Structure 1
């Protein structure tokens, strides 16, 4: 049973580092994009090492308006425009095709072992949704059939832990936040953010870290797989 099962009617999942390991996915996507640059825009690839291009992108992101920090797609599109302009390349192909190359690789994901079964069990018992700050796309990944709705930071106009993104999920679910359990790995963005709008919380804590700061999750598991035993009771 999840928390108090009589109170929970909806379960929302964080995506990156909750259903799959994020870092290698992003690193692979950056590598695929860099290889694409080398083929189509060799002058750019020759001007940067792989690591150097990532560092330059991070520097560029740090100078973008704080009000757009929630929209990682918008940030990357502006970065691609900057690359095109700096190297006198046509924006259209580099920006649109380059972003699509990155996004396709970014959504080429292998879920944690057992995660598909967890999502199947949850979707049979609860209204299910996703809440993510990133641009992972559950339809492109092929797991959208488990979910009734998907909320992104770009769509909500705010990123976790801002209350707005969690309230957008509650609106999509058609129920008050108190009836929703949010599952995620990040103590601040996921757990405190959800708790601040009175959602129930389940912290995925694979490294067994000690909880720090005020409040605490309603439940804590070491992996998403441990949820299976709770969903079948």
Structure 2
């Protein structure tokens, strides 16, 4: 079976997500502290602000597939409750988003993507709101599909089916690479895709998980693809 397209998860597959989000949260908090003293008084620590966001997210499961809208609406609430114009939320979100797209790629990611793009169509399927074009690697991908654009999040098969439609291929002709056993591997398999589990931390294989291949470093990906 010929592989025609390789699609990738982003967060924790091409780069470490936790460090990126922590930096972006700190950048946002510094901005709010500097320009909105009532927010600084209401949220005396970054932890208190993050707790507010997590509580808002728990109350709005309908927005879990659209993290940009979720964060913007939460920021509107923050501005409203501190007697500021909620329209300020958009600029605050942009401060966060700019920092959120400052990523440090895992070893071998960029050279591997550049080589793969010479042979395969490449794509992105993500539940997050990172932007490969803003980051500077958008030219390597034929498509970048977010859960916000798809209307559903991984592991729902519909997001993978939408990706297949973008490149007009059959499911067995796409390989999906991701770190999350459920959202990435099982989700893609349920849509008929072949899968590579990116396991940089060398975690134990979850019971019942059967990816087509397991990769611990991006230097391995080209050899693994030849075996699929």
Deviations 1:134-159 (A, max 9, x none): 00000110000110000000000000
Deviations 1:203-231 (A, max 9, x none): 01112222223340000011223224456
Consecutive unaligned residues of structure 2, counting only runs of 5 or more, are none
> Are positions 1:191 and 2:185 aligned together?
yes
- Within the alignment, does 1:86 sit opposite 2:81 as a pair? yes
Which moved further from structure 2: 25-34 or 48-57?
48-57
What residue is the counterpart of 2:67 in the other structure? 72
C-alpha separation in 2, matches of 1:99 and 1:51:
18
What secondary structure does 2:117 align onto? helix
Match of 1:201 among 195, 204, 220: 195
Q: Pick from 11, 17, 40 the counterpart of residue 45 of structure 1.
A: 40
Other-structure match for 1:224? 218
Deviation at 1:83, TM superposition (A): 0.6
- Corresponding residue for residue 31 of structure 2: 36
Q: Is 1:166 the counterpart of 2:160 in the alignment?
A: yes
Where do 5+ consecutive residues of structure 1 fail to align?
1-5
**Does residue 1:141 correspond to 2:135, yes or no?**
yes
Contact between 1:121 and 1:231, CA under 8 Å: does it hold in 2? no
DSSP 3-state at the match of 2:50: helix
CA deviations 1:105-127 (Å, max 9, x no partner) are: 00011211211111111111111
- The residue aligned with 1:61 is 57
- Conserved? CA contact 2:181–2:209, under 8 Å: no
Contact 2:107-2:217 within 8 A present in 1 as well: no
Report the equivalent of 1:156: 150
Residue 119, structure 1, aligned to residue 119, structure 2: no
SS at the partner of 1:210?
Answer: coil
Map of 1:181 onto structure 2: 175
- RMSD over aligned CA atoms reads 1.5
Q: Deviations over 1:45-65 (max 9, x none)?
A: 23221111101110111011x
Given the two structures, how large is their TM-score scaled by the length of structure 1?
0.93
Q: Match of 1:20, SS?
A: coil
* 1:178 Cα deviation from its structure 2 partner: 1.2
- TM (norm. structure 2) is 0.95
**Helix, strand or coil: the match of 2:118?**
helix
The number of residue pairs the alignment matches comes to 226
